Structure 1
């Protein structure tokens, strides 16, 4: 259920991590210490608050992205990069060859933009991913802090690493 923390409002991440951590037995201490240091932030020795984690919360928390219907990942960018790299077809192209490939890519995008303006839908997501996004959005929009344990279980059932 640790993965479910990414789908909580930022204001609830600390308290819900502490609640969840209390449910683990001692065999998970190393995992919890790592997770807390890397993603949550260790508690300060004196005073309130936590130290800054290795990865800031805004980098991994997707609650607001789901609420506003934005992508949860950069998979589309990675996909474009891989496709462009395969179109270039050489590891170290000359400037001339790279410029030509970029010009072709620009032309392709201008056609795609024209199609979007005309009402076409470009490459819809696979149905399984569309359904997954809908389930996650439904769960996130129905977030109830009083039902946190069930919420985290439901998110974890839908999200895999």
Structure 2
């Protein structure tokens, strides 16, 4: 049935004002999937949110939320402004109230996007907000490359060890971080001066609070599972060269996958064995924090 209805793909929209056919408002099992469809700024910006009743129940019953984790809400947003994120979170809270639940997670794990961080702080003030340690290490690595130090990092063991000490600050007791940063900086080679200037500006005295990126007391240091999902999802998107309708077809498929995973977990099945590549990736990540 799903293949038959997909033969009639609508015209690709040229603006944000268009109708979403019923076939795309439902899951592949013909249940409601389109949750919200509204405009911001006098119909100039549109927000479209998809989530099934089953996914919403899982979201509202979860104490820990991984932003960009296993998706239970697909949000097509026009921008990455704090106000847009806050509006979405508040609407989800209203959805929870409508079904006699609450959307008040005890912990939120996300990346360090400033608008998202501000929105989480404003909407979930009582939640413990933890930054993903993988994203933290990735950001430092990216800066090493941007400063032209990638080759030296690869071939100079002493320099690599100094960089790893810098990355490992996220795993130290928070009261020790600034003192240890100063100790490491006093010992490093001059070639790393710019890297330490960046680190102090961004992570010690910058816009990212130390309490957000320090993972010493966190039970959830990374959202690597979410990153693995994002890579798989991104690969599927690239293969499809998606327009709006093919993207909706893709998230309908993802909802079907969600249903299958939920059934497997409910029956007591364990997660799939990590692939060789995934195991190797995790080993490299752990090595960075040694």
TM-score w.r.t. the length of structure 1 is 0.57
Q: Cα distance 1:63–1:100, how it changes in 2: closer, same or farther (>3 A)?
A: same
| 2:267 matches 1:124 | no
Q: Cα distance 1:77–1:25, how it changes in 2: closer, same or farther (>3 A)?
A: closer
1:110 is aligned to: 259
Displacement of 1:37 after TM fit? 1.6
Q: Structure 1, residues 68-95: CA drift from partner, whole Å, max 9, x if none?
A: 2x2x333332332332244343333242
Q: Cα distance 1:9–1:126, how it changes in 2: closer, same or farther (>3 A)?
A: farther
Task: From 167, 188, 197, give the equivalent of 1:33.
Answer: 197
Q: Cα distance 1:61–1:24, how it changes in 2: closer, same or farther (>3 A)?
A: same
1 or 2, which has the higher helix percentage?
1
1:87 is aligned to: 236
Q: In 1, distance between residues paired with 2:231 and 2:281? A: 22
Displacement of 1:112 after TM fit? 0.5
Residues 10-159 of structure 1 mapped to structure 2, 5 A cutoff: 10-24=174-188, 28-41=192-205, 53-65=206-218, 68=219, 70=220, 72-88=221-237, 89-95=239-245, 97-125=246-274, 128=279, 132=283, 158-159=287-288
Q: In 2, distance between residues paired with 1:125 and 1:64? A: 26
Q: In 1, distance between residues paired with 2:264 and 2:197? A: 50
Q: In 2, distance between residues paired with 1:131 and 1:105? A: 24
Displacement of 1:5 after TM fit? 0.3
2:124 is aligned to: none
Q: In 1, distance between residues paired with 2:275 and 2:242? A: 33
List runs of 5+ in structure 2 lacking aligned partners: 1-164
1:4 is aligned to: 168
Q: Cα distance 1:122–1:24, how it changes in 2: closer, same or farther (>3 A)?
A: same
Displacement of 1:104 after TM fit? 1.9
Greater shift after overlay, 102-111 or 116-125? 116-125
Displacement of 1:26 after TM fit? 5.2
1 or 2, which has the higher strand percentage?
2
Q: Which of the pair has the greater relative contact order for Cα pairs under 8 Å at 6+ separation?
A: 1
List runs of 5+ in structure 1 lacking aligned partners: 42-52, 137-157
Displacement of 1:117 after TM fit? 2.0
Q: Structure 1, residues 28-78: CA drift from partner, whole Å, max 9, x if none?
A: 44333232122212xxxxxxxxxxx1433244322233xx2x2x3333323
Q: In 2, distance between residues paired with 1:38 and 1:9? A: 19
3-state SS, counterpart of residue 84 of structure 1: helix
Q: In 2, distance between residues paired with 1:104 and 1:131? A: 27
